[in-house]
Amino acid sequence: MHIKKEEQAILWLRASLVIETAVVEYDFIVRTIPSNPDGYPRPVITMHNANSSWDVNRPFPGPLIRAKLGDTLRIRITNMLLTQTGTFWYHSHNAQQYADGLVGPIIFDHDPIEQRYNYGTNDYVIMLQEWYHETWSDLMTAYQGPYGAYPGSIPIYPWPPTSFLINRHGQFNCRISDCNENATWRDECGTEYPVQCVPLRSPFLGPCKQNAHPIDEFKCPSGKQIRLRLINAASGIPFRFEIDQHKLTIVARDSIEISPITVSHLHIPIGQRLDVIVTCNQNPSKYTILISSRNSFQPSHIITGPTPTMWATALL
């Protein structure tokens, strides 16, 4: 059978695109050992292959993990450290994928707090995020671009978000702005800067829907207690958190139990987890849960166009 040169080229291209994949397996142990990385002996944490002993003279970095694009990685880790319970979260470490949504909570139950407070099944995870209508790859291109295109230009950072999210839901009024205004502002020293514009374009993937999602509501039975596991999964915003007419008792920070601290509101930095006990001692009603920015964005007078919404709400 005669095959034309064009067909041969296509067959060669198809064969070259076939990627051989494999299952790559690793088995590690994590433990504490005595070592002296700079000559001073103290306990260190090491991870080593399960089928070999650790290197006391070079306890870290851990073993190399290597694979090809398309391979399946199976990694088994035996944790010989002290076990820990409480509130954790996971997210992508590739670029800023977690700012585009690749995040989630991890809860290890049966911690001491369960024994000290009578909240039963009234146990809620609240993940807080800021949200942008551009993907993070586009935002970083816009942020980094002036350095290369205009030597001496200083882009304003952090980039103001469009809205805030509570457990992946927020509110937006579907406004748009085209950033055609060339305004400036002056700082306390009189130095003039270009005003930052927050571009709000029409969406590509269908119409914008105002109030597309109902406000989240967390049940607070009268006379009972509830546990709120607050996780700040934002990429650049510390949050202020409060509940109308309710005190907040902070009982754990980053999954570590602390002496209880009762406050009217709290601030939660990026990446941190705070466990809070709320006593439902007010008249039965609906109370506003408010999250707002803790002054982590630029002042409104240096932002042209509609100022972004710097708060989000839920109900208790």
| Same-domain status, 76 and 126 | no
Q: Which of 32, 59, 82 is the last residue of a domain?
A: 82
| Same-domain status, 94 and 75 | no
| Same-domain status, 196 and 132 | yes
| Same-domain status, 146 and 228 | yes
What CATH number is attached to the domain comprising 242? 2.60.40.420
Tokens of residue 45, six digits: 């944490």
| Same-domain status, 93 and 23 | no
Q: Which of 65, 82, 99 is the last residue of a domain?
A: 82
| Same-domain status, 70 and 92 | no
pTM over 0.85? The answer is no
Q: Which of 35, 58, 82 is the last residue of a domain?
A: 82
Domain count, the chain: 2
Exposed, middle or buried: residue 316 (CB in 10 Å: 0-12, 13-18, 19+)? buried
For 212-270, how does the pLDDT look when each residue is reduced to its tens digit (9 = 90+)? 999 999 999 999 999 999 999 998 889 999 999 999 999 999 999 999 999 999 999 99
Using CA atoms, how far residue 115 sits from 26, 251, 252, in Å, is: 38, 12, 14
For 39-53, how does the pLDDT look when each residue is reduced to its tens digit (9 = 90+)? 999 999 999 999 988
| Same-domain status, 52 and 133 | no
| Same-domain status, 188 and 52 | no
Q: What range does the domain containing 5 cover?
A: 1-82
- At residue 296 the predicted structure's pLDDT band, cuts being 50, 70 and 90, is very low
| Same-domain status, 70 and 50 | yes
| Same-domain status, 70 and 102 | no
